[in-house]
Amino acid sequence: MGFTPEQESIVTDFIGEHDIPGAAVAIVRGSEIIAEGGFGVADVSKKAPATAHTIWPICSITKSFTGVSAMQLVESGKLRLDEPVQTYLPGFRLKDQAASRRMTTRMFLRHNSGMGRTGHQDRTREEAVNPYPTRESLIAALDSAELQSAPGEAFSYCNEGFATVGHTIEKVAGVPLEEYFTRNILDPVGMSDTSIDFMDWKNGADRTYAYSRDDAGAFDSGERHGDYIVIHLNDDYQTFLSTGGIVSSVHDLALYQIASMAYEDSPLGLTAGSLDHMQSVQFPFGDTGWGYGLGYWVFWSGSTKVIGHSGGLPGISTYSMMIPSEKTGVVVFTNRGDRKAFFLAEQLMNTVRGQVWRDATSEPLPYKTRYPGPSVNDLAEYTGNYEFRAGTAEVEVGVGGVVIKTPSRLDGPPLSITTTQVGRDSFISLDQGMSIPFVRDASGRVVRFLNGGYSYERV
């Protein structure tokens, strides 16, 4: 069928308005890819066009691959999600050894282990030589990690936790994770563009570059393509393969979406119950019904469940959005990390099946809560300055929630995040539906909030 004129206009307007060199898009309906292709360029210097088969790092979309692998092992009786991780990895421990014994695979897959981002992945991304060249070395290094919250208490995005699950999978399966992904997901689905080696992206003939415009900081390669800064991403990403290391095309991700929504006979080899389990809320965001599954964000459009996952590295933004009950999906890759592919995916989904949430992505998401609207005095206990690795964030009183003004976590401009309070110490952003919990100490004082897995410590 190809893209409609409206869809082409939406994509070209988006990349033009947001100064994005190139994007690749695929749309799924039923069991077919009904449209796929590239817009703009993947390589500014050579003016090489983006295509449906151009290779991108898919970043955290990878997490659903890890969820699928875990559920395959659950179905085969080799893994129990609620068994302590130490059952499978006896050497796993954090600084708090008692808490370490309570942590389970499910907690890591739904991001509520209490670890959050421990800093180990940041070192891998930012240092010239990977300080954790093997998964065993990463697990051993976690013994210095401190908890952000008690296990099971709060949502905090945790790449190190997904890396731990990846190592668990290969130990339980008895084969390297690279081989497991290839044999049990990529080959059965027919994902011939896809690789489990980050270098296959860098060495690819049809590949995108990662771009920034203003200040890329430590990720500035020194190379320029026209007016764009070429982002440097390290070669060795194998340690964190299970959390964001797969490279692929929108064509292959569309095939993966079809397999993930094929409840009757999925090439992933999972039953409908396991697929639905992954794609259902495992950790709720307040009382909204929105939350996180096992490798998927879970939202609602009225009575219709919408699932998806973002992916981001400096210079790269990706999104996979699906409505399983309608067998409809949209995949979006862009080569600017500070321009969120989520918003383009949402606009395109609107054209395929009707409005998902809103007429314009500048409008707030329509999640609902019965949590009593907080007063200014209620919100005051959260306000103030909070320090994190990229600088100082300021929390102010908003309407029905707090407003967080913070430097970008990666290569983007400062952010202003408007939230609604949806539970005690629980807030959700109005733009993307992300959970931002606040954490108290033993005396009941708010001491930090958690955003994107990072801990923002109150000054």
The verdict on 129 and 275 lying in the same domain is yes
Residues 6+ apart with CB under 8 A from 267: 188, 189, 190, 259
Q: Are residues 102 and 67 part of one domain?
A: yes
Would you say residue 369 lies in a domain? no
Residues 355 and 381 both lie in one domain: no
pLDDT for 267 equals 98
**Does the residue 57 lie in any domain?**
yes
Whether residue 53 lies inside any domain: the answer is yes
| Vertex 161 angle, CA 159 and 167, to 5° | 105
Helices 341-353 and 5-17 meet at what angle, rounded to 10? 160
Question: Is residue 385 assigned to a domain?
Answer: yes
Among the candidates 318, 338, 364, a domain finishes at 364
Looking at the DSSP bridge assignments, the partners of residue 402 are: 397
Do 39 and 115 lie in a common domain? yes
41 and 130 co-located in one domain = yes
The pLDDT score that the predictor gives to residue 446 is 98
Total number of domains constituting the chain: 2
What gap in Å lies between CA 459 and CA 456, rounded to an integer? Answer: 9
Q: What does the pLDDT read at residue 100?
A: 96
Q: Is residue 371 part of a domain?
A: no
Residues 181 and 328 in one domain: yes
N residues, the chain: 459
Let me know whether 283 and 410 are in one domain. no
The CATH number for 264's domain is 3.40.710.10
In this structure, are 380 and 348 located in the same domain?
no
**Same-domain status, 221 and 327:** yes
Instruction: Decide if 370 is inside a domain.
Output: no
User: Which structural domain, as residue segments, surrounds residue 436?
Assistant: 376-458
E-only strand ranges, 175-219: 211-212
259: tokens are 């397999």
Dihedral in degrees, nearest 10, Cα atoms 365, 368, 372, 377: -10
Question: What pLDDT does residue 215 have?
Answer: 81
Is 435 in the same domain as 298? no
**Both 311 and 399 in a single domain?**
no
Question: Of 364, 389, 415, which marks where a domain is finished?
Answer: 364
What gap in Å lies between CA 373 and CA 378, rounded to an integer?
9
List the chain pLDDT tens, one digit each, 459 residues: 799 999 999 999 999 999 999 999 999 999 999 999 999 999 999 999 999 999 999 999 999 999 999 999 999 999 999 999 999 999 999 999 999 999 999 999 999 999 999 999 999 988 989 999 999 999 999 999 999 999 999 999 999 999 999 999 999 999 999 999 999 999 999 999 999 999 999 999 999 999 999 888 889 999 999 999 999 999 999 999 999 999 999 999 999 999 999 999 999 999 999 999 999 999 999 999 999 999 999 999 999 999 999 999 999 999 999 999 999 999 999 999 988 999 999 999 999 999 999 999 999 999 999 999 999 999 999 999 999 988 999 999 999 999 999 998 765 688 999 999 999 999 999 999 999 999 999 999 999 999 999 999 999
Q: Which of 364, 396, 417 is the last residue of a domain?
A: 364
pLDDT of residue 411: 59
Cβ proximity of 109 and 295 under 8 Å: yes
**Cβ atoms of residues 228 and 44 within 8 Å:** yes
**Per-residue DSSP letters for 108-153?**
HHTT-SS----SHHHHHHHSSS-S--SHHHHHHHGGG---SS-TTT
Pairwise CA distance, residues 375 & 451, whole Å: 23
Same domain as 428, residue 408: yes
